């Protein structure tokens, strides 16, 4: 009688090949999902960093333009610029190059008496990011606008004849 109980207990301890294969398949699906989710998360973080850097560059340029005198704004403002961003992930990763344009024009939404005394300044920035091995890069564009008046704050700070 003891022999029968021993054989039954021994049979309950083993796993069948089907159970092992199902467990391996479930584990493989979980690991692939985990690594795919992590890779997607790192891609989102990279894109967010690049977008944040573009916003910082735009803000920096707009704040500098707001401090320009009317003479600087209409005659001495550069029309293009280039900035770079090197990520902190190592020296092997390529830097992102941001190319920008500054356009100064009239605001057509203002009454005609103010159009000559108020300028609409638009700063536009573009950059490209790689999407993977041997794929075409993805282009991004962001822009900001501000208005600057002839009798604006910059004249109180610097006067009408300040140079850059």
* Better-scored residue on pLDDT, 30 or 152: 30
Please give the tally of structural domains in the chain: 1
State which residues form the domain around 79: 2-158
CA geometry: angle 46, 53, 60, nearest 5 deg = 175
Q: Give me the chain's average pLDDT, please.
A: 83
Q: Is residue 28 part of a domain?
A: yes
* Better-scored residue on pLDDT, 7 or 16: 16
User: Which H or E run contains 141?
Assistant: strand 138-149
Q: Is residue 113 part of a domain?
A: yes
Q: What percent of the chain stands above pLDDT 70? A: 77
Give the model confidence (pLDDT) of 46-65 as tens digits: 889 999 999 999 999 999 88
Binning pLDDT at 50, 70 and 90, where does residue 164 land?
very low
Tokens of 26: 């479930």
Q: Is residue 164 part of a domain?
A: no
Complete DSSP assignment for 61-126: HHHHHHTS-HHIIIII--SEEEEEE--TT-TTSPPEEEEEEEEEEE-TTS-TTTTTTEEEEEEEEE
Q: Is residue 44 part of a domain?
A: yes
- Residue 94 scores a pLDDT above 90: no
Q: Is residue 52 part of a domain?
A: yes
Binning pLDDT at 50, 70 and 90, where does residue 157 land?
low
Give the model confidence (pLDDT) of 8-25 as tens digits: 555 567 678 999 999 999
Contact, 50 vs 85, CB < 8 A? yes
């Amino acid at each position: 009688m003891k022999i029968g109980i021993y054989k039954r207990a021994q049979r309950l301890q083993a796993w069948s090949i089907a159970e092992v294969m199902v467990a391996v398949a479930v584990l493989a699906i979980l690991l692939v999902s985990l690594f795919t989710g992590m890779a997607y998360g790192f891609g989102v973080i990279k894109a967010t960093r690049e977008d944040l850097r573009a916003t910082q560059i735009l803000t920096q340029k707009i704040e500098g333009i707001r401090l320009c005198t009317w003479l600087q704004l209409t005659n001495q403002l550069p029309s293009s610029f280039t900035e770079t961003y090197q990520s902190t992930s190592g020296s092997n990763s390529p830097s992102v190059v941001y190319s920008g344009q500054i356009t100064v024009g009239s605001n057509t939404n203002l009454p005609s008496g103010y159009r000559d005394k108020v300028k609409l300044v638009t700063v536009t920035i573009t950059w490209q990011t790689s999407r993977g091995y041997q794929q075409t890069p993805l282009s991004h564009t962001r822009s900001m606008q501000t208005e600057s008046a002839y009798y604006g704050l910059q004249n109180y700070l610097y006067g009408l004849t300040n140079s850059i």
